Amino acid sequence: MSENWQALHAGRRIIIEADDGRVVTGGASGAQARVSAWTGDDAQVWRLILHPKAPSGTCVVQRWGRSEALDVNGESKEDGAKILNWPMHEGGGANQFWHIHSFGGDVYRLVAEHSRKVIGLAQGGDGLVQRSYERGASAQRWRIAELLPYGDAVPLRSHHGHFMTAKSDGAVTNTVDHVRSWERLTFVRPDGTTDGVLEYGDEVAIRTDHGTYLSASPGGDLRGDVGHIKGWERFTITREDGDTTRGPVTLRRPFALRSAHGTYVMAHSNGGVNASASEPRSWERWRAWPASMDGIATREISYPGPDDWLRVSVPSFRCVRPATGIETDLALQMTELGMAVINLAGLKCFSGPVAAGIAIGGLAIMSGGAAAILIDHDRAADQLYFATAPNRGAKVWPDGDYKEVDADQGWHEFLMSHETPAADFKGSVDLYLMEYDSGSDDDVLGVLQIKSEELELLDGRFANAIPVGSDEEDSLYELIFGVESI
């Protein structure tokens, strides 16, 4: 099993933790959700559930034990809208549906289905609000982790990547990388009860699949064939450094097990397990591991480096205005272009002017009415080609000399046969829209500039829409482009 493997399990108890360690806490029904220090109250416990009417890849974040969920107030799409603890909509609601994007480890962002904005903290406060995504903003990143309840049979994974095995003869080993019945151990309270979730500092007993308990002798021997809970069968669950400051124990986060004799349970590199360590170091670290690989769908966020190979492609484009050579103020006209919602490869965007920006992960094209105002059908068609430098030698599309593109053309006419402009690059690339000219230098009709340091890839891909043009040539094109790791 990979150390980076992720699974957020539907229906399981979770915490949602801010960068400073405070956890999301639900108040009274209809109140704003906030962050506060861990108390162990059920108001701080949530679960992810799938809704029959929710879009694929989304889930509802529900209060544990209550029919309430995280909800964007009034279905607002504005920055600063409060995130409420609100009764769940019986028929489902997009303002209660969340996409979960992973930064790796157990850090995520939560993206609202209806607005494509994220959950963040109000500036200078503890209330949850909706925000436009800001790359690197710690107030918009959340650690989502599954709590470890008493009574659950879970595998314990060692520093070496193997699982603790309690054999039928009482021997305890750490040699296997599979999870079967002997690798499932159950934490119970010293009186045998199983209410609540584990916290650091708790005294526990560990029951094997055989109904017996782990027992540590004063000499450090560890066996799993004792049928009672007395002194030697009691362990204290601590943080990985031995600290017992209160806090929730969660899956995949390392902890240590201190015996009744003050020593720690350790896994040796040869597969042996005993309780002879005087202090917790690396071999004394254990993690409760997910027993199942079924999980809520998440999407992985990554940031390409300057040495990573990427491919930029333009799966769709349209000519709004062919070139004339007349200088105009295109910048003003671009901000007035209306945008219409479309779908491409399951991604969405929302209405609004170009000046307002494109929604996260969104794709858009201009509405026909707004574009038609600017189209001059009397202009001659462009003899278009794409290149990575303003000369013929770097042409990347089409295979022939050029494509003749008139106003309002290009969307369907040229790319349905998969003749997609594409270029591989590291660091940065400029993709030029060029007009062939047999009598002089070719003209630049616009440039799509891509820098890897400015990209955020979702599942290895980035997609967006952008208008590009030239003041000098008075040209204007719409490009829908994508970038992917190769």
Q: Inform me whether the pLDDT recorded for 2 exceeds 50.
A: no
Gyration radius of the chain's alpha carbons: 29
pLDDT for the residue numbered 329: 44
pLDDT for the residue numbered 399: 86
Q: Are 265 and 216 in contact (CB under 8 A)?
A: yes
Q: Integer distance in angstroms from the first to the last C-alpha of the chain?
A: 25
DSSP 3-state assignment of 239? strand
Partners of 17 in the β-ladder: 23, 143
pLDDT in tens, 259-317: 999 999 999 999 999 999 999 999 999 999 987 666 788 899 999 999 999 999 998 89
pLDDT for the residue numbered 341: 28
Strands (DSSP E) along 58-176, which ranges? Answer: 58-63, 68-72, 83-87, 98-104, 107-112, 118-121, 128-131, 142-146, 153-154, 156-158, 163-166, 172-176
pLDDT in tens, 362-381: 333 333 334 433 444 457 89
How far, CA to CA in Å, does 253 sit from each of 11, 82, 157?
Answer: 20, 31, 10
CB burial of residue 218 (10 Å; 0-12, 13-18, 19+) = exposed
Residue among 478, 381, 486 nearest 435 (CA): 381
Q: How many CB atoms lie within 10 A of CB 104?
A: 11
pLDDT for the residue numbered 417: 64
Instruction: For residues 85 and 63, give the distance between their C-alpha atoms in angstroms, rounded to a whole number.
Output: 8
Which helix (DSSP H) or strand (DSSP E) does residue 364 occupy? strand 364-366
Q: Are 140 and 133 in contact (CB under 8 A)?
A: yes
- Per-residue pLDDT, averaged over 443-452, amounts to 95
Instruction: For residues 362 and 480, give the distance between their C-alpha atoms in angstroms, rounded to a whole number.
Output: 10
Which helix (DSSP H) or strand (DSSP E) does residue 320 occupy? strand 309-321
Class of domain 302-485 (CATH, top level)? mainly beta
Instruction: For residues 302 and 460, give the distance between their C-alpha atoms in angstroms, rounded to a whole number.
Output: 7
The full set of domain ranges for the chain reads 14-146, 153-288, 302-485
**Per-residue pLDDT band at 334 (split at 50, 70, 90):** very low
Q: What is the dihedral of CA 188, 189, 193, 196, to 10 degrees?
A: -90
Cβ contacts of residue 248 below 8 Å, gap of 6+?
15, 38, 40, 145, 147, 148, 197, 198, 199
pLDDT for the residue numbered 294: 64
Dmax over Cα atoms in the chain, in whole Å?
A: 96
Q: What percent of the chain has pLDDT over 90?
A: 73
Q: Which two tokens stand for residue 126?
A: 């503890």
Instruction: Check if CATH label 2.40.37.10 holds for domain 14-146.
Output: no
Residue among 193, 225, 216 nearest 284 (CA): 216
- Per-residue pLDDT, averaged over 199-225, amounts to 98
Cβ contacts of residue 389 below 8 Å, gap of 6+?
430, 432
| Core vs surface per residue 297-331: b (16+ CB within 10 A) or e | ebbebbebeeebebebbbbbbbbbbbbeeeeeebe
pLDDT for the residue numbered 264: 98
Phi, psi of 122 (to 5 degrees): -60, 140
Instruction: For residues 96 and 50, give the distance between their C-alpha atoms in angstroms, rounded to a whole number.
Output: 11
Q: Inform me whether the pLDDT recorded for 343 exceeds 50.
A: no
- The CA-based angle 172-174-178, given to 5 degrees, is 115
Instruction: For residues 431 and 418, give the distance between their C-alpha atoms in angstroms, rounded to a whole number.
Output: 18
Do the domains 14-146 and 153-288 sit in the same CATH topology, yes or no?
yes
Instruction: For residues 332 and 328, give the distance between their C-alpha atoms in angstroms, rounded to a whole number.
Output: 9
Q: Are 124 and 80 in contact (CB under 8 A)?
A: no
pLDDT for the residue numbered 293: 61
Q: Which long-range contacts (CB under 8 A, 24 or more apart) does 395-401 make?
A: 395/434, 396/421, 396/422, 396/423, 396/431, 397/421, 397/422, 401/436
Mean pLDDT taken over the chain: 87
Residue whose token pair is 């529900």: 62
Q: Inform me whether the pLDDT recorded for 461 exceeds 60.
A: yes
pLDDT for the residue numbered 7: 54
Pairing of strands 299-302, 98-104: parallel
Determine the topology of domain 153-288 in CATH: Trefoil (Acidic Fibroblast Growth Factor, subunit A) (2.80.10)
Helices (H), 310-467: 330-335, 368-374
